[in-house]
Amino acid sequence: MRRRVSGTILGGLILALVPFLSAAANAAPAAASHPYHHSCATQRAGYASCDALVRSDIAKSAKALASAAAAPSGLSPANLQSAYKLPSSTAGSGQTVAIVDAYNAPTAEADLGVYRSQYGLGACTTANGCFKKVDQNGGTSYPATDGGWAQEISLDIDMVSAVCPKCKIVLVEAKSASFANLGAAENTAARLANVISNSYGGSDASDATYGSYYNHPGKAITVSSGDAGYGVEYPASSHYVTAVGGTSLRTATGTRGWSETAWSGAGSGCSAYNTALTGQSGLTGCSRRAVADVSAVADPATGVAVYDSTAYQGQSGWMVFGGTSVAAPIIGGVYGLAANAASIDNNYPYTHSSALFDVTSGSNGTCSTAKWCKAGVGWDGPTGLGTPNGTGAF
């Protein structure tokens, strides 16, 4: 039955809503103003999904970019180096960063060449010994191509290049996104590099099941914390890795020239299974392994420029990416710049937190223990101990 609403009542409702409508009008732009989507599909148990988010509103082909005589949208290597005070022009020689991802990116080397040429980073090719691509066993029997994971691969190798252009890069491609195949790729990466970056995750899991893949003393292993807000992913929750959360990074006045807040999508929390890091004692409010340890930019709204020619989901060329898939290889590149991987473990940032920018505002959801989802002074879940201020914490 329809009921008539009197003008008096309707008017009262409108007046009551005015403060809320006004607040909404003056609020920060909603996420829909910068639409983005996941590069990879959600996976079932025992499998991982990549943590790359690609902006749907920004994509330019190399030809269009050249004709417009404009720089790509998104943060550049110079931006990242400035924001995190990195010695990228002088450090990193002799270091090798491995990227572990699933499936094949057939144009990875060529796409990397476009990215590095755009920003004057110098060639990194198979021919000059800077770039190497192998399958999960270290050979050349590459897996099937997957467009979403190919975007992830381009993102990862571009970010290592942006932060540590003098580092060598090894791309290790797993046969599938199962933890068994990604784990085999991880073991191969540990034989070929001293830093390993992983931009993928699945449900929180036990090191008793998968930990042997990530237990490589003398190697710095970074893992993205996830893109779904408060909640824990594996292998970020492994005892053996550096879990990397995410921030929103913007230019600002002041000495640093940049400001950061916790990104609402960054994964965080307390593992149900794994042992806490020694350095976390008394800091996290969690008796087990807490996530994250450190962080870097991950918000698609303040995302990074990436080049990928795969033509997946209607996009190719220059794109803008976010997700903690951005943050993990950035931190991997910082470990490469520091050149300390062989002599430290993943507790090192906890004893050198003064060499980090503490991120003290923003949140990624609602949780029973505030610091697991809300940024504040010192350690917090979304941003860990903070973001790089040089290489001293790595």
The predicted model gives 82-93 an average pLDDT of: 98
The answer on pLDDT for 59 being more than 50 is yes
- Cα 57 to Cα 266, 301, 316: the distances in Å are 21, 11, 12
pLDDT, tens digit, for every residue of 319-333? 999 999 999 999 999
Half-sphere exposure of 287 (CA within 13 A, CB side): 2
Residue 70 is predicted with a pLDDT of 63
The answer on pLDDT for 388 being more than 60 is yes
The answer on pLDDT for 339 being more than 50 is yes
The answer on pLDDT for 367 being more than 60 is yes
The DSSP letter of residue 346 is T
Instruction: List the beta bridge partners of residue 262.
Output: 247
The predicted model gives 33-37 an average pLDDT of: 81
The predicted model gives 372-394 an average pLDDT of: 98
- Are the CB atoms for 47 and 222 separated by under 8 Å? no
Please report, rounded to a whole number, the percentage of residues in the chain having pLDDT higher than 70. 89
Residue 41 is predicted with a pLDDT of 85
The answer on pLDDT for 31 being more than 80 is no
Token pair 């732009």 is at which residue? 29
Residue 102 is predicted with a pLDDT of 98
Residue type, 245: G
Q: Are strands 96-102 and 168-174 parallel, antiparallel or unpaired?
A: parallel
Residues 6+ positions from 217 with CB-CB distance below 8 Å? 345
Q: In the structure, what pLDDT confidence band is assigned to residue 362 with cuts at 50, 70 and 90?
A: very high
- Are the CB atoms for 221 and 240 separated by under 8 Å? yes
Residue 7 is predicted with a pLDDT of 41
The predicted model gives 264-268 an average pLDDT of: 98
- Before 144, cis peptide (omega within 30)? no
pTM over cut 0.85: yes
Alpha carbon of residue 114 to chain centroid = 21
In angstroms, the CA 364 to CA 122 distance is: 38
Q: In the structure, what pLDDT confidence band is assigned to residue 94 with cuts at 50, 70 and 90?
A: very high
Q: Are strands 288-291 and 269-275 parallel, antiparallel or unpaired?
A: antiparallel
**Where is average pLDDT lowest: 46-60, 179-193, 209-223?**
46-60
- Are the CB atoms for 53 and 36 separated by under 8 Å? yes
Residues 6+ positions from 61 with CB-CB distance below 8 Å? 316, 317, 318
Of the two residues 8 and 388, the one the predictor is more confident about is 388
- Are the CB atoms for 385 and 291 separated by under 8 Å? no
Q: Are strands 195-198 and 96-102 parallel, antiparallel or unpaired?
A: parallel
The predicted model gives 177-204 an average pLDDT of: 98
The answer on pLDDT for 10 being more than 70 is no
Of the two residues 9 and 77, the one the predictor is more confident about is 77
Token pair 């002074």 is at which residue? 377
Of the two residues 97 and 7, the one the predictor is more confident about is 97
CA dihedral 207, 209, 212, 217 (to 10 degrees): 0
The DSSP letter of residue 344 is -
Question: Two tokens at 214?
Answer: 């990530």
pLDDT, tens digit, for every residue of 115-142? 999 999 999 999 999 999 999 999 999 9
Other beta carbons within 10 angstroms of residue 220's beta carbon come to: 28
Residue 374 is predicted with a pLDDT of 98
The answer on pLDDT for 172 being more than 60 is yes
CATH match of 49-388 with 3.40.50.150: no
The answer on pLDDT for 21 being more than 60 is no
Buried b / exposed e along 239-264 (16+ C-beta atoms within 10 A)? bbbbbbbbbbbeeeeeeeebbbbbbb
The predicted model gives 300-305 an average pLDDT of: 97
Residues 6+ positions from 298 with CB-CB distance below 8 Å? 227, 245, 246, 247, 248, 263, 265, 266, 322, 323, 324, 325, 326, 327
Q: How far apart are the first and last CA of the chain?
A: 68
- Are the CB atoms for 384 and 295 separated by under 8 Å? yes
Residue 22: strand, helix, or coil: helix
- Are the CB atoms for 244 and 218 separated by under 8 Å? no
Buried b / exposed e along 369-381 (16+ C-beta atoms within 10 A)? eebbbbbbeebbb
Short-list 359, 343, 85, CA closest to 244:
359
